[in-house]
């Protein structure tokens, strides 16, 4: 693992949460992006070299809608940057972690992502992410 890449926060209204995090961080979101495959609308803020990802559900089947229904708004996942997501999945599998996406998928912010089951990490949903090289 390289560093904490971002922290994902589940919100009911991206519009409201954008205002709150603008005020909190003193900056504008640097991008917003809809990820249809995950059923989410996201916006990203930078804070130093870390990022905050706000996530709003696009539909009731979205994992974010289910999360908010069960636990309310709040921290949804912690994302770690990795250099080789395939190698890291193998390593963590061998360590006994339950991998939710053995084949990484395209996530928001130009990343390949895979998630670990929260039960594997003391109740924390862990995201691995690797920057997709554009060339
Ligand atoms: Zn994320």
pLDDT of residue 37: 81
Ligand 1 centroid from CA 128, angstroms: 9
Tell whether the model's pLDDT for residue 17 goes beyond 80. yes
Ligand 1 centroid from CA 113, angstroms: 8
pLDDT of residue 135: 56
**What pLDDT digit, counting tens, does each position of 37-63 carry?**
889 999 999 999 899 999 999 999 999
Ligand 1 centroid from CA 22, angstroms: 19
Ligand 1 centroid from CA 135, angstroms: 23
In percent, how much of the chain has pLDDT > 70?
99
Phi, psi of 86 (to 5 degrees): -65, -45
Ligand 1 centroid from CA 95, angstroms: 22
Ligand 1 centroid from CA 41, angstroms: 12
Tell whether the model's pLDDT for residue 134 goes beyond 80. no
Q: How far is it, in rounded angstroms, from Cα 85 to Cα 26?
A: 33
Structure tokens at 77: 């996942």
Closest Cα partner for 39 from 60, 68, 18, 15? 60
pLDDT of residue 40: 95
pLDDT of residue 38: 84
Tell whether the model's pLDDT for residue 12 goes beyond 80. yes
Ligand 1 centroid from CA 82, angstroms: 13
**What pLDDT digit, counting tens, does each position of 87-103 carry?**
999 999 999 999 999 99
Ligand 1 centroid from CA 53, angstroms: 6
Tell whether the model's pLDDT for residue 9 goes beyond 80. yes
Q: Which residues sit opposite 105 in a β-bridge?
A: 113
């Amino acid at each position: 693992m390289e560093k904490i890449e971002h922290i994902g926060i589940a919100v009911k209204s991206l519009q409201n949460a954008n205002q709150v995090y603008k005020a909190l961080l003193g900056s504008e979101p640097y991008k917003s992006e809809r990820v249809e495959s995950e059923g989410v609308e996201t916006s990203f803020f930078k804070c130093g070299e870390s990022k905050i990802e706000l996530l709003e559900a696009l539909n009731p089947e979205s994992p974010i809608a289910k999360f908010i229904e069960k636990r309310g708004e709040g921290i949804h996942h912690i994302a770690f940057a990795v250099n080789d997501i395939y190698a890291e999945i193998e390593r963590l599998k061998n360590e006994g972690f339950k991998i939710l996406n053995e084949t990484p998928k395209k996530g928001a912010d130009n990343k390949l992502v895979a998630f670990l089951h929260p039960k594997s990490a003391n109740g924390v949903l862990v995201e691995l992410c690797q920057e997709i090289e554009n060339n």
